[in-house]
Amino acid sequence: MMTIEEIQSEIGHLSDEHLSKVIAYAVHLKNLRDPESAAILKERLDDKDPEHWLTIEEFEARLEDS
């Protein structure tokens, strides 16, 4: 079994395409384990109001803060 550090290191070397697939798979697993998170994610993805959207910079800043 790999450690989290080994997994992070391996992920760090992935191409953009493969990284996107890993992210999508991780979100999928989280949604399977936590239906409430899935519902929140769906609600946010379905939100058509641009006032609720983040810019790339805002999104990246939030990632850095978490």
10-47 residue pLDDT tens: 999 999 999 999 999 998 898 899 999 889 989 989 99
Name the DSSP class of 2. Answer: -
What secondary structure does DSSP assign to 33-62, as a single string? H-HHHHHHHHHHHH---GGG---HHHHHHH
Q: How many helices (H) and strands (E) does the chain have?
A: 4, 0
* Inside any domain, residue 3: no
6 inside domain:
no
Q: What is the DSSP letter of 13?
A: T
Is 1 contained in some domain? no
Q: Is residue 57 part of a domain?
A: yes
Confidence of residue 55 (pLDDT cuts 50, 70, 90): very high
Answer yes or no: is 48 within a domain. Answer: yes
The answer to whether the CB of 52 falls within 8 A of the CB of 41 is no
User: What is the number of structural domains in the chain?
Assistant: 1
pTM of the shown model: 0.58
Give the domain extent around 53. Answer: 14-65
